Structure 1
Amino acid sequence: MSFGVLGGTCAPDRLAALRTAGASVVELPMAWDRYQPQAGQVDRGYVAEVRARLNDCREAGVGVVLSPGLQYPPDWVRGLQGGVLEGSAGGAPKDAGAELVFSSEVRKAAQDYFARVLSDLGLAGITAIRVGTNASGELGYPGPDDGGKVGEFWAFGDAPQFGIGLAEGLAPSPMPGWIPGSRTWHGRSVTDEQVQRWWGWYAGSVVNAVAWQVGELRKLGYQGRVHVPVAGRGVLPEDRAVAVKGRLDGRANPDGAQERGLDYVEQFAVLARLPGVDVDFTGLDDVSNVRARAAAPPQDRCQPGDDAKVMEDVSSWSSHRYTSALARRAGLGLVGENPGPPDSPFTGGSPESHSLAEQLRAAPQYADECGMTMFLFGFEDNLFEEGGRAESGVSVEDYKEVIQRIRSP
């Protein structure tokens, strides 16, 4: 297993310290809105900044996981036809990635952006490229905290409902006008089969956007690994059955996975058909781990035989144990990262969450036990803050000790 950091800067002094600690890869984040602030216009200063960082990593012999930053679309992209998702209650997400799920125009813009990035930066030294669809850069639609109302689904614009400006290869809603939770459609009772078909379309459309990105990268000549960040467990099979019976009215939906369109059983099967794809679990030692560890017996750690049990009752398992087993079962590669500081945005922190120091102790071990090929610590800045351990509770020396312990048990 290789070790690295999220939010890398490729600063030479930090790279030297990370290499001494045993880390060999950094995630280098980019932002689409900074790269292409106007349609047809590239900010050459920003391009030069990213290229310089990438070159510093190359010269240091440190691999780069490139995050193109589609979760930060420029305003002109949001202004394209279908450029913003529309909710079932009329809402719009306050934070969202580029609307790559349904909008043909947004996909064309992203296609051009990918081509510019790979042409400007080159492929040397790039260990992997991350792709996703939501504001966190992960697979899925916006969640309950991203705007709109509780229980709002995100496929109600002209493209998904009527096919106007719909991305190639997608079908419009099999039940146009039907809103999850409704018992009728066009004056008739809605059947389980209809709800299941609508759910399959909704979840299938969002994973199609990820598959499309992988395909575009391959067309541009990139043949390396592609990381697809995922969080949580998605909709468990037993919960999906209950949700369908309830017409997706909010039952059996403890963490908003239904609105996010997360059906990992089916979606991982789609990803497994794409060469070179790794599932990147973003919540090693998240709240679910804390709770699963407290169970009797503990249910937090990956165990031999999990792949065969993953379709049984796994409600007591930690999220990473379930999702890792599901990915292995599908034949996908696995990488992982801890959530990061529990009081930071997008980390899913709660009063139950472990501190960053506790995450550093536990998360790499979880990654090792689950057979992951890479662990990325969140985040680089936390290892190098002024004052070091006094500020964040961790330091690069702490990371070194963890890496040495795992490599020399």
Structure 2
Amino acid sequence: MKRVALSLVLSIVMAAMTAGCSAGSQRAVPEPFAFGVLGATCEPQRLAALRQAGVSIVELPVAWDRFEPRQGRVDGQYVAAVVAQLEQCRQAGIKVILSPGLHYPPAWVRGLPGGELRGSGGGVPRDSGAELIFSSEVRKAAHRYLSRLVLRLGVNQGLENIAAIRVGTNSSGELGYPGPDDGGNEREFWAFGDAPQKGTGLAEGVALSPMPGWVPGSAVWNGRAVTGRQVHEWWDWYAGSAVEAVVWQVKALRSLGYQGRVHVPVAGRGVLPADKAKAVAGHLDGRANPDGAQERGLDYLAQFAVLSMVPGVDVDFTGLDDVSAAAARSTVPRQDRCSPGDEETAVKDDVSSWSSQRYTSALARRTGLGLVGENPGPPDFPFTGGSSLSDSLAEQLRTAPGYAVDCGMTMFLFGFEENLFDDGEGGVTLDDYKEVIQQSN
């Protein structure tokens, strides 16, 4: 890494840690600030190196399709390997954030009634996760899987090295629906299966569409003009159904005996309040929708308020130093960093020039949710949302940890472990990360 740039991020991190509070919320930052990695292998030699570098926590991914490749049949060999990974992390003194991998459903789950999301244009997402939002049968299967996972891994026994469990609804394991083009059609919304539209196989406690058959963008429903109030109610139902599925997962884990922290990964900034008003006025026809947040059902202002009512939930912002941060950094004045008073400004003023991390973390702090973060990862990876304007992985390491502290987060997770052990091919090494960690303490 370039030492001048590295020194800059170190000074930012040290200054924020010395101040002991978030610039945006003035809340004390717990000491020590936790550094971790995503996509851990829990391989003993790597764990030793990570521990020596100052990493104290790792995200361990589990895959539902490998755990239960056939309905009712658990792969004992795979389970034993995951149990061994947990034990290796425990012995190394490393805490684990467990990702159950509901977004990697087996093929048989997609074959269940309502097992696949359906788009407003008739599409099916190419890389859809489990249809946890509306399908009763999928939720039953997911609950059985979670119960086996919790039992087999001993998660319900209060394992000291399980720091959190991640939950989400889309194919990236984040809150929300698939992207607008994931089904091969243009601008699809994802609540058009028989369950949400007709009530057939609808999960218990989940609401039916308030306008069955209405497609966003249409000014008419059942032969009558659609009112702004009706569109607003439909949007609230659409976005609300996504966050309800997250709450359902948290409650399922609690009922199975897990009482620790739960992380909800979120990306981007969702629908901004000003854009929401314009979108509703246009019947959700595509206006005021710069990043597909409408089709993804992301209304963080409302959804975070729901999550704040569930004890033990932290928002995990997955895009520290994403492409929006690179753009906001170049504005005059720059709009990438969190600032005092952001919690109020975010819901009153024009924040369209803000970085996603600034806006989304302000909403999390506003609702009292815990807050952790991670960088997007290599911009050329297919699932990191990168573009030609994105910062390189080396730049992300130089910048993202400072953003995490600056925005009142209590943890930074670097994406990904593999990139720290690839002999610098991705532009970063474990020594680079070690220097950031050491200088922050």
Q: Shorter-chain TM-score category?
A: over 0.9
2:148 aligned residue (76, 100, 116): 116
Aligned partners of 1:150 and 1:241: how far apart in 2?
22
The code of the aligned residue for 2:438 comes to Q
- Show the counterpart of 1:52: 84
Q: Deviations over 1:240-288 (max 9, x none)?
A: 0000010000000000000000000100000000000000000000000
> Structure 2: 5+ residue runs without aligned partners?
1-32
Alpha-carbon deviation of 1:406? 2.4
- Show the counterpart of 1:383: 420
Q: Check whether the contact 1:7–1:378 (CA below 8 A) recurs between aligned residues.
A: yes
Q: Deviations over 1:128-187 (max 9, x none)?
A: 000000010000000024223221100011100011100111111000000000010011
Aligned partners of 1:108 and 1:317: how far apart in 2?
41
Aligned partners of 1:192 and 1:61: how far apart in 2?
55
Report the secondary structure of 1:7's partner residue: coil
1:252 aligned residue (266, 282, 288): 288
- Show the counterpart of 1:362: 399
Aligned partners of 1:255 and 1:308: how far apart in 2?
24
Q: Does 1:326 align with 2:363?
A: yes
Report the secondary structure of 1:164's partner residue: coil
- Show the counterpart of 1:151: 187
Aligned partners of 1:93 and 1:145: how far apart in 2?
8
Q: Does 1:233 align with 2:269?
A: yes
1:280 aligned residue (316, 322, 337): 316
The code of the aligned residue for 1:39 comes to Q
Report the secondary structure of 2:252's partner residue: helix
- Show the counterpart of 1:42: 74
- Show the counterpart of 2:62: 30
Aligned partners of 2:399 and 2:361: how far apart in 1?
16
Identity of aligned residues (%): 71
Aligned partners of 1:233 and 1:206: how far apart in 2?
16
Q: Does 1:402 align with 2:402?
A: no
Q: Check whether the contact 1:89–1:148 (CA below 8 A) recurs between aligned residues.
A: no
- How do 1:150-189 residues align onto structure 2 when only pairs under 5 Å count? 150-189=186-225
4+ residue runs of structure 1 moved beyond 3 angstroms? none
Aligned partners of 1:90 and 1:375: how far apart in 2?
39
Alpha-carbon deviation of 1:354? 0.5
* TM-score normalized by the length of structure 1: 0.98
1:16 aligned residue (43, 48, 63): 48
Identify the structure with bigger relative contact order (alpha carbons < 8 Å, sequence gap 6+).
2
The code of the aligned residue for 1:127 comes to A
* TM-score normalized by the length of structure 2: 0.91
The 1:116/1:19 distance shift into structure 2, 3 A limit, reads: same
- How do 1:284-303 residues align onto structure 2 when only pairs under 5 Å count? 284-303=320-339
Aligned length: 404
Q: Check whether the contact 1:281–1:337 (CA below 8 A) recurs between aligned residues.
A: yes
1:352 aligned residue (386, 389, 404): 389
